[in-house]
Chains A and B, each alone.
Chain A
Amino acid sequence: MKQFSGRTRQGVALATVLFLLVILVFLAASLFKLLPSELRWTLKQKLDNEGYYAATSGVRHASAWLSAVATGKLGDHFPSPFDPFSANASSDPYRAIVVADPAAAPYNLGPKSIAPAQENTNDTYFPTNMPALQSQGNRLNLPNGWATEVTIFPDKFTAPHPFTLTHSGNSRPPGYTIVSLAYQDVNGNGKCDFSSGERYAVRVECSIVGGAFSRYAYFIDKWDGTVANEIRMNLPVGNTKPVFGGPFHTNGVPILQVSSPAVFAESVTPGGVQPHFGAELSFAGSPGNPTQSASPNPNFDGIAWRGGNYKGSNAGLIPFRSTASGLTAIESRYNRMFKGGKSAIRPRSRIDLPANTDRVALAAYGYRNSEPRPDFATLPNNELFIRRDSANSRLPLGGVIVTGGTLSTLLDVVDVTGKSVANSDYGSAVPTVGGSMLRVKHDTNVSYIEKTTVPVYSYSTTTVVSDEVVQEPGSPPDFFMDETYVSSTEPIDVRVPIYGPGSVTVREAPGGGPVGGTPLVPPQQIIGYTTQTINSPVYATRQVGMRNVTYTGTHLSTQTTVVGETETEVIRTYNPTDYILEAPESETVLFHASYFSEAADTGATSIAIAQMPVILTQETANVSTAYISYPIPPGKVGLLRHSRITPDSFVIEILDKKPNGSILVEGPVAQLRGWNRGQKTISAQKISGTTITNQKIEITGPLRQFGLTQGELPKSDANSLGLIGSSVVINVPSASVTSQFSYAQNKTMYLYAAILALQGSLESDFSGSPTYYGALEVIGSVVQESVGFLQQNSPPRGWSSAYTYDPFFALASPVAFPLDGTFSLYFFKVDAL
């Protein structure tokens, strides 16, 4: 065995020490090596965190600004209202630029192009030299010197995208792709200065699409839960379709009433029982803990559950329970109520009804970027105005402006033979061909003088000469008659009833009450009597003397004897009626005036010449039988303008292009009904300077949609109709009950429309309604300031309401419909750079 000698062991200690030292040095070096990495990563984590919030704040900033532009908050600041791309002032936080290559860094957007452009798809694309908006410096500064550079790219339906497709563009709310780049602005010059070592740290890319008010299945601004006749939604047992198929929003507190605890016991099944809310329920009101019961359940989800935690404390009527650890959701109950479960309930900020409806007015005018704002007061009164291209008078630039209110407003579909669906030439068949027709009867009449020969009569009349039985000397009455008069009053006691809370008029819950059944809110109840003293009239009879007086002269009465004739001038009046008939691209349609007569509206099968709104007097020999029949070629538009001089003449003009569908009526819209083909928005509003006053829309019959049977859901957004007014009133006249618009009791009247009542409601006019209940089925969306009166029970009349959401309104909207200022997020991506 080898032995180490002392000599051989010399230096072992040093070697050992050096070895240990090397280990220590390595250890220290490793720590020193790791330490900067650790610190660097910590710093990076901090910077990433700050950069993330800076970048997302940039998106929020851009969204808020776009929202303010879209809702008209910035007023007339921009050369083009509602168009953010017309921002060009140095004070604007964004300015229009052209991005040479959106696919290049730092935007990294793609693809560059899709050819040909796909009109009806949701893809977007970013060609070279694309217009965009870019934030100006020093507008959004965050702690630690963080700033953002935000660039806003329009989607292909949003001007000024170079490939904007105008056909569908009007019905699409604007969409944008936002790229927000966060950086630390070390030198504070308001831009990412690469030469100074600054660089982009975080990139956020997102796609947002604006929302129009039509996207709500139901929207109530004011939800009054404090009065006896509170508005609430009744959630019944066994409902097989959602009460509201789309989003629901109120700026108040929603009050839901589960009709029975059995509702919560039901199971949702395919094709069977469905949740009451098909989409989200959002609200801005904050109920706190409802206290209108002796032992209220506390609030849990922001909803006032009537009978559960509001005006009652029945634990079977609320979808949550108290446990030792607090309140807990009962998921099965929420799933029974909401398709998305409890997560469908969303507290959120107020969504204000639009401050103005300028957007549809400008669309109707055909406003173009950078023009001066139109002065609506200079337009000719009492006309159907369509602005034309200055170089081509047959080319409409916008929609239609009716410069005054209407007495009658008919939507119709007319085919090549002149058949009218609104006037029931189709019977019960649903038309699949034909052109869209709009007939407007102006509410301002036209007077003209007509010379006519009138007979001269002798006639007699009587006149009172004395109210007392007193015979004046020399002029005695010819006869006497009895007259009852109030001689005095005397106090008497009467028994009068005392009414309890409630009202005779039922403010029906949305979605709600059974047709003809018991209203949700009881009628006014007599809860006692009291005695009141009133002054009762004392009647007496007296005789009055009467005298016959005989005259000779011109008199129109036929009750007396003709003694001759004379020629005179008679002032007559009529309300001019104008029409627009749009022929489809592949069809010819016939302008056949007889179908447009108002007599036909009420079911007349034979139209007398006097009932014709206009008759052809120059082109036919026999004016008593010939009606106007004028073919409108495919893709063209016939505009018939009633003469403002005489009712018997008119002018037909052919236009090369359809108006854009926005229809501004400068006054109330009366007697609206019919069938709609094509995208339209009818807005009743008066514009005086920059002040806009909304007017009422009256609906006197169903509003059906082209190609759909009653109750059928829309198959596209091609025929969407929007109605905007201060209020929208259902007023079906009794005469219509027997016409083609008639509804037997308990039948359904369909309204295919997005209804926006800005200062009122969708409501019934009980004075004109027949005394029956009918069902009102709105297929579309309803947005109103408050819930209107749709039915009353004493006497029973009005409409029981039901709502079916038009799912196409979730993305598209009727033409130029007001935007609610919200944006939906469709894509979101964060990159650390």
Chain B
Amino acid sequence: MKRRGLTVIEVLVSLVVLATGAIITLGAIGLSVKATTASSQNSEAVCYSRRILEIALTPGPRSVYVESGINTQYTNTFRPLYSNDTGVAPPFAIEDFTNSLDSKDLLRFRKDAQNYTYRVQVSPFVDPVDPRANKYGDQLLQVTVEMEWFDKMGRRTLRTGGLYSRL
């Protein structure tokens, strides 16, 4: 019997089909990786903002309000969450954002956190309707944490807000 190999057409069709499939698949994978990375960064930003908000809203020396008034450590300007030069800006500490002091954890945080900047806006609570609002609202402060970072899809921001109570 005569042995017959693959025809050129077969090879070409196979290659085209395979290439098409591979392109589509790789595109999908690339897109997924991008989206997953974005999603992870978003999740990370949510965690960071939650930690910042939690510390800012918990009464104490690191809260947005101290005895002398609004805590001046919250500067209302974007600051890096972490920088190799200055570390984590006060009133926060690196322990606030890591689960342990394990060197791998710290290394990962230092690497990831450099992508983020944040700012905390603090303002007296204003009731838009009640003219006597300052009488009950003077115990309250409106706090907004804004995270900013960049990924392959561009600039990303996340805003989370809450009320601080001096009671």
**Chain B neighbourhood of A821, CB < 8 A:** 167
B25 touches A25 (CB 8 A): yes
Can you report 10 A-B residue pairs in the complex whose CB atoms are below 8 A from each other? Answer: A5-B1, A6-B4, A21-B21, A28-B24, A31-B32, A46-B158, A53-B160, A64-B165, A93-B129, A349-B139
A32-B32, A349-B166 as given contacts; A20 in contact with B18, CB under 8 Å: yes
CB of A38 within 8 Å of the partner chain: yes
**Chain A neighbourhood of B10, CB < 8 A:** 13-14
CB of A65 within 8 Å of the partner chain: yes
- Secondary structure at chain B's binding surface: helix, strand, loop or mixed? mixed
B60 touches A347 (CB 8 A): yes
Across the interface, name the chain A residue whose C-beta is closest to B25. A24
CA distance A61 to B163 in the complex (A): 8
A50 touches B165 (CB 8 A): no
CA distance A436 to B6 in the complex (A): 114
Scan residues 790-833 of chain A and give those whose CB is less than 8 A from a CB of chain B: 821-823
B4 touches A73 (CB 8 A): no
Minimum C-beta distance from A130 to chain B (A): 24
Across the interface, name the chain A residue whose C-beta is closest to B67. A286
A91 touches B139 (CB 8 A): no
**Chain A neighbourhood of B50, CB < 8 A:** 49
A20-B21, A32-B28, A53-B161 as given contacts; A139 in contact with B14, CB under 8 Å: no
Minimum C-beta distance from B92 to chain A (A): 16
CA distance A92 to B163 in the complex (A): 19
A138 touches B28 (CB 8 A): no
CA distance A338 to B119 in the complex (A): 38
CB of A237 within 8 Å of the partner chain: no
B144 touches A143 (CB 8 A): yes
Minimum C-beta distance from B148 to chain A (A): 14
A6 touches B2 (CB 8 A): yes
B136 touches A21 (CB 8 A): no
CB of B66 within 8 Å of the partner chain: yes
**Chain B neighbourhood of A77, CB < 8 A:** 132
A24 touches B127 (CB 8 A): no
CB of A695 within 8 Å of the partner chain: no
Contacts A17-B13, A67-B136 supplied; 6 other A-B pairs, CB < 8 Å: A6-B2, A42-B39, A45-B43, A69-B136, A73-B136, A136-B129
Chain B interface residue count, Cβ-Cβ cutoff 8 angstroms: 59
A822 touches B167 (CB 8 A): yes
B61 touches A347 (CB 8 A): yes
CA distance A319 to B147 in the complex (A): 39
CB of B59 within 8 Å of the partner chain: yes
Most A C-beta atoms less than 10 A away, residue of B13, B128, B132: B132
For A47-85 the 0/1 string (1 means CB < 8 A from B) is: 001100110110011011101110001110100000000
CB of A142 within 8 Å of the partner chain: yes
CA distance A68 to B132 in the complex (A): 11
Minimum C-beta distance from A59 to chain B (A): 9
**Chain B neighbourhood of A31, CB < 8 A:** 28-29, 31-32
CA distance A823 to B167 in the complex (A): 8
A13 touches B11 (CB 8 A): yes
Across the interface, name the chain A residue whose C-beta is closest to B50. A49
Minimum C-beta distance from B57 to chain A (A): 8
CB of A18 within 8 Å of the partner chain: yes
CB of B85 within 8 Å of the partner chain: no
CB of A354 within 8 Å of the partner chain: no
Of the candidates B36, B67, B137, B140, the one whose C-beta lies within 8 Å of that of A38 is B36
Of the candidates B14, B136, B162, B164, the one whose C-beta lies within 8 Å of that of A17 is B14
A34 touches B32 (CB 8 A): yes
B21 touches A25 (CB 8 A): yes
A5-B1, A144-B159, A285-B67 as given contacts; A138 in contact with B128, CB under 8 Å: yes
CB-based closest 4 A-B pairs: A68-B136, A53-B162, A57-B163, A28-B28
Minimum C-beta distance from A689 to chain B (A): 20
A91 touches B43 (CB 8 A): no
B28 touches A49 (CB 8 A): no
**Chain B neighbourhood of A143, CB < 8 A:** 144, 159-161
CB of B68 within 8 Å of the partner chain: yes
Of the candidates B3, B32, B36, B163, the one whose C-beta lies within 8 Å of that of A6 is B3
CB of B135 within 8 Å of the partner chain: yes
CB of A27 within 8 Å of the partner chain: yes
CA distance A65 to B134 in the complex (A): 10
Scan residues 2-58 of chain B and give those whose CB is less than 8 A from a CB of chain A: 2-4, 6, 10-11, 13-14, 17-18, 21-22, 24-25, 28-29, 31-32, 35-36, 39, 42-43, 46, 49-50, 53
CB of B116 within 8 Å of the partner chain: no
Minimum C-beta distance from A281 to chain B (A): 14
